[in-house]
Amino acid sequence: MARYVVTGASSGIGREIALQLAFGGHSVIALGRDRHRLEELALQNRRIETHALDVRDRDGLIAWTSELAKSEAIDGLINNAAIQHNIRFDDPRYGIDEIVAEVETNLLAPILLSRLLLSGRSGQPFVIVNVGSALASYPKTTSAVYSATKAGLRMFSDALAVQNHATPVRSVDVVLPLVDTAMTAGRGRGKIRATDAASAIVSALAPGKGRIHVGKTKLLRLLQLIAPPAAAAIIRKL
């Protein structure tokens, strides 16, 4: 069985990913900011190891991955942690700190963590799963920065795939619809469950995957091909 790092594992989709991997026989290193929730998660399965760490803490990431390199090898990384401010870019309540938090959490942290965990693993198999969104294709009327970070994360996945096409390093972009989590509370309809989103993300670890569309995003993919304006109109209303 494999050993995976999962970010944003203290709640929501990340928690479900960690549990599904562990109950599937894999070893999991669950990262999150909420130490108490992580402790509760670790009690659910002995295969789950937790580490309280904010992925925006650059020095913390470097120190932790340095220590991790001394232990058993890591087989993959699931970049799940994300922040979304559902607000217009020009709203006075949306300040510089909120913008920086979204960019650092959603885009910079996955890039840095991928680089740190790949360091020294030349020629060894490794899979990076980036949890993306339909907003990477079309923005909505709010969440401009979130949409931009998910578009950047998709391009990062594609760039890794191009650079590593002749190596055992794989990258996968998982395109999620609206998921029923604390982040989406009070908005949207037809959400999928966090457990279902997690199942799709775990399936992305299988060989041969490149980009996975989940739930209603499969229809969005079709609309992108035959009626792009219709696809864009649907996303704007989310």
Confidence at residue 207, expressed as pLDDT on a 0 to 100 scale = 87
Residue 107, φ and ψ in degrees, nearest 5 = -125, -55
For the stretch 139-154, pLDDT in tens is 888 999 999 999 999 9
Average pLDDT, the chain: 89
Share of residues in the chain with pLDDT > 70 (%): 89
Say yes or no to pLDDT of 225 above 70: no
Q: Which is the catalytic residue, given 4, 94, 138, 146?
A: 146
Residue 35's pLDDT is 96
Taking alpha carbons only, the member of 72, 55, 172, 78 closest to residue 124 is 72
pLDDT band at 82, cuts 50/70/90?
very high
pLDDT at 72: 81
List Cβ<8 Å contacts ≥24 apart for 137-142.
137/175, 137/220, 137/224, 137/231, 137/235, 138/231, 138/232, 138/234, 138/235, 138/236, 139/235, 139/236, 140/235, 140/236, 140/237, 140/238, 141/88, 141/236, 141/237, 142/86, 142/87, 142/88
* CA neighbor of 203 nearest in space, from 17, 29, 19: 17
The string of pLDDT tens digits covering residues 93-106 is: 999 999 999 999 99
Is residue 135 within 8 Å of residue 147, measured between CB atoms?
yes
pLDDT of residue 184: 72
Q: Is there a catalytic annotation at residue 146?
A: yes
Q: Is the pTM of this model over 0.85?
A: yes
Maximum pairwise Cα distance, the chain: 51
Q: What is the pLDDT of residue 30?
A: 98
Give 216's pLDDT tier (boundaries 50, 70, 90). Answer: confident
- pLDDT one-digit tens code per residue, 157-208: 999 999 999 999 999 999 998 887 777 766 666 788 999 999 999 999 988 8
DSSP summary character for residue 73: P
Q: Which fold is adopted by the domain 3-236?
A: Rossmann fold (3.40.50)
DSSP letter, residue 33: S
